[in-house]
Amino acid sequence: MRVLSFPTLQVAHNKKINMTSRYDILFQPIKIGPVTAPNRFYQVPHCNGFGYRMPLGMATMRGMKAEGGWGVVCTEETEIHYTSDLSPYFEGRIWSDDDIPTWQLMTEAVHKHGALAGIELTYNSHDAANLYSRASAFGPRSMGITGGSGYEPGQTRAATKDDLKQVRKWHRNAAIRAKKAGFDIVYCYAAHNMTLAFHLMSKDNDRTDEYGGSLENRTRFFRELIEDTKEAVGDTCAVAVRFAVDELLGKDARGVQFDGEAHDIVAMLAELPDLWDVNLSNWANDSVTSRFGKEGHQEKYISFVKKLTTKPVVGVGRYTSPDSMLSAIERGIMDIIGAARPSIADPFLPNKIREGRLDDIRECIGCNICVTGDTRFVPIRCTQNPTMGEEWRRGWHPENIQSKKSEDEILIVGAGPAGLEAARALGQRGYHVILTDARREAGGRVLLESALPNLNEWRRVIDWRITQINKIKNIFFYSSSPMTAKDILEAGAPHVILATGATWRRDGMGRHLSRPVPGNGKIFTPDDLMDLNMGSDSSLALRVLSKMQEQAPALQKILIYDDDHYYMGGVLAELLAENGCDVTLITPAPLISYWTQFTLEQERIIKRLHDLNVTLLENHVIASHTPTSATVTNIITSAESTLACDAIVMVTDRIPNDALYHELKPALAEGKLKSLRIIGDAEAPNIIAQAVFAGHLAAREFDEQVNPDETPFKIER
């Protein structure tokens, strides 16, 4: 291959450090009741979409965390009885002894690497829709079911005292099964606004018997669960409590508050469990995305717990920095660092800290794509870690990859998320890789999107990969290097991978409109605004984004038409509103930023847009436009209305940048190339996680025999 003379991109990264004693406290063993955790890294219970239907996938994924150094690895919430059936979600089940072998798969995988295994037993109240079992759910009173869709047309029945005794018996039986399955820690769960124990303690309880009224009475059931569990398995198993200390509802809503009843509950039960695992309710508050909550955001709510108990305290806060972890322990916030999402993004995070490889940590970006595994009923996935969920079915390891099978060179065109991951993984395999990008800086869409309001942590997708690429001597990166088909063929690489991205449509076509929207109004796309937001000095930047709106009197009213339904429409509305524009956001969907309900952030997006005085209009499509207005149509009633606007931002479909692929296909047929592959958005526009996955898949499959007629992964049946 001819030598390319393009300038290489250099990105600074941390040097490997000698850890000495700086982080030693994180690796100190800590006693939890009758068991001892080998260190202070604790993978708290988290859902994963595998559940009871894919036990091998679940167990292998959990075992990978233990291999990576997590001292305690826990299950997801695990149903103890068919009357608390969490369908349509796929969670754990320990209904009977028949479920014990499933859980032995996990405990053996975790114990193999010296970690403790924990199980989160749960008996949910009105959050259990019982769609599979069709049983009547128990609640503190008869009340609407919130599980399933969130708006199920049914109610619980008020649990009698005999019912509560039954639940205690079922919980005890489940704890005994958990012990037989090999678990070291057994949970009593009262968090996330889901469990019967939590609901009895909360505003939902209006009972007049000994389980209602005073706080002591409302806490009685939870106390009994803890006491029963300790009596049943406490000789060899630690009994943990998971408790939400605040619902973030405020005093007027009578919600549980950290400086109110939650404080009193912890004080009341302080020494009863062997461990306190504390967090916020509901799940959207506990696992807030990085757009709305930063590292350690729960500290002010949970810090009181350690002052009330001598037992170890676990807390979470999406800690990715070892310095933040160390600080949380040294400041007395917690004894053990809990994590769900950071353990998903990097199952080997503890080992990397132990080895002083801090710049190798694959930091969570807080996007909650992992959450969508549960909310969309599919195996877990991760934007940063493309191997997450693929440990068993594809045999992928997050740190190890098969070695190269040839000396062939590979040219990758496009250094966005797909191209960067393909280059990194192929380089790790040992191949000679040439990576080019037309822009001066690598990152593609992530470079642009991470500059949008509150998405700065998404830049970690780029930074981690560039850091790794700079360490691999057989990867050569050339920036500011647009490539034509002729350039590619002249470069002489026998294998070409195209990761050239996609471009947002300007004509309004998308899911709901199959024809271009007619009109002569001023049209922008996300590409336009992101380029401007990156600091372009074009007149458009001055006219659209200038904080000095008097310089742009003609572009005050902006209409955003969002037929993408994820974050882009809402975050552009933020960008424009923060720069003084009068913004209206319309969408054909019944909810603004509809898909973000699956990442647990839709309500926060609505609130932020309301706070910015953005006008929101659901169930509408854009029908036509002029330089001063847009005609929109209600898709339910077909009624038309006219909205004044000076410009329109179309957030609809994207067009794959696949021209190079089609130009090069004849060269492949003629034998001028050994292989040609198109990946990421250039193949099929999707979320960033899918682009990273596509790049990783291309690297894993390179030089491998792939039969398109066979499923490329194992299936649990």
* Catalytic site positions: 47, 189, 192, 286
The answer to whether 221 touches 169, Cβ cutoff 8 Å, is no
Residues 6+ apart with CB under 8 A from 212: 140, 200, 205, 206, 218
Angle at which helices 55-67 and 100-111 pack, to 10 degrees? 20
Can you tell me whether residue 30 is helix, strand or coil?
A: strand
The answer to whether 450 touches 568, Cβ cutoff 8 Å, is no
Residue with tokens 């937001």: 533
Residue 102 and residue 530: Cα distance in Å, rounded? 48
DSSP H helices, 28-160, are: 55-67, 100-111
DSSP H helices, 364-438, are: 371-375, 417-429
CA torsion, ordered 130, 136, 138, 142, to nearest 10 deg: 120
* CB burial readout 362-381, b (16+ within 10 A) else e: bbbbbbbbbbbbbbeeebbb
The answer to whether 37 touches 336, Cβ cutoff 8 Å, is yes
Both tokens of 383, joined, read 């934007």
CA nearest 598: which of 610, 589, 588, 585? Answer: 589
Residue 355 and residue 16: Cα distance in Å, rounded? 9
What are the φ/ψ torsions at residue 410 (nearest 5 degrees)?
-130, 130
Residue 625 and residue 517: Cα distance in Å, rounded? 8
Helices and strands (H, E) in the chain, number of each type: 22, 28
Residues 6+ apart with CB under 8 A from 138: 83, 84, 125, 156, 157, 158, 159, 163, 167, 196
Residue 360 and residue 348: Cα distance in Å, rounded? 10
Distances (CA, A) of 694 to 124, 181, 360, 425, 683: 38, 37, 21, 11, 9
Can you tell me whether residue 317 is helix, strand or coil?
A: coil
Residue 643 and residue 445: Cα distance in Å, rounded? 31
Residue 647 and residue 552: Cα distance in Å, rounded? 12
Integer-rounded Cα Rg, in Å, for the chain is 27
CA nearest 326: which of 341, 336, 316? Answer: 336
